[in-house]
Amino acid sequence: MTDAAMEHTAAHPRFLAHHFTDIEQQFEAGTLGMWLFLITEIMFFGGLFATYAIYRLMYLSAFEAGSHLLDVKLGAINTAVLIGSSLTMALAVRAGQTGSRKALIVFLILTMLLGGVFLGVKAHEYHHKWETGLVPGFHWGPTEEVHLHPEAALPHVELFFCYYFFMTGLHALHMIIGFGIMAVLVWQAARGRFDGGYYSPIEVSGLYWHFVDIVWIFLFPLLYLIGGRY
């Protein structure tokens, strides 16, 4: 390839990698690649959901008792917060599409803030579980809760809390990673990387963030809302 062919021109802007024909194709390849990664994530979480289903069928009353020890209000608030962060993320991608640097940075930071609120509430819940002795393995021995819910003494409530911590913990880990991705995007946006209509990295980061939201959409009813609260 000659030097002339390596130059960036209007037909071949700086953000178009040389092995792609055009921006369209590059965008398409990036999006498809991200979806393939997300499918491996779906199978990863899917395995957990499948074993959850089996143990819940086996130890139904214990799982329901465990669910009663979770705070529906906090879970619902966190669901709303996470949905809100998905909205700001979608708007950030839109700002990337329209090439508005200021709006992009604002919406990315809002997404990070809402993600931070979610993790804060989660940390508060974890702390409460620790204080009431509901952390399986490390700190198990329900205290006051046992008097409020006698069924919490069932042997397999501890198993429910294994699932609670493993699933919400993995979800929180994904959010922390997403938080890091957002921080990098804000930094790059501030340096003008996305000026001129290039927004592929924002689009695929958005896909990741929305996926994490979807995992929570299923975790919330499966962990917080089972067993009927009537």
Q: How far apart are CA 215 and CA 105, in angstroms?
A: 26
Question: Which residues of this chain interact with other proteins, rule CB under 8 A?
Answer: 23-24, 27-28, 31-32, 35-36, 38-39, 42-43, 46-47, 49-50, 53-54, 57-62, 72, 76, 79-80, 83-84, 86-87, 89-91, 94, 97-98, 154-156, 197-199, 203, 206-207, 210-211, 213-214, 217-218, 220-222, 225-226, 228-230
Strands (E), the chain: 134-135, 139-140
Closer to other proteins by CB, 17 or 127: give it.
17
Taking each helix axis from N to C end, the angle separating 157-190 and 101-131, rounded to the nearest 10 degrees, works out to 160
Closer to other proteins by CB, 109 or 225: give it.
225
Closer to other proteins by CB, 109 or 214: give it.
214
Q: How far is the CB of 10 from other proteins (least distance, A)?
A: 14
Closer to other proteins by CB, 53 or 123: give it.
53
Q: How far is the CB of 2 from other proteins (least distance, A)?
A: 28
Dihedral sign for Cα atoms in the order 175, 178, 179, 180: positive
**SS3 per-residue string spanning 59-76:** CHHHHHHHHHCCCHHHHH
Closer to other proteins by CB, 2 or 40: give it.
40
- Backbone dihedral angles phi then psi of residue 197, each to the nearest 5 degrees: 90, 5
Contact status, residue 88 vs residue 110, Cβ threshold 8 Å: yes
Q: How far apart are CA 99 and CA 97, in angstroms?
A: 5
Q: How far is the CB of 16 from other proteins (least distance, A)?
A: 11
Rg value, the chain, Cα: 22
Q: How far is the CB of 4 from other proteins (least distance, A)?
A: 25
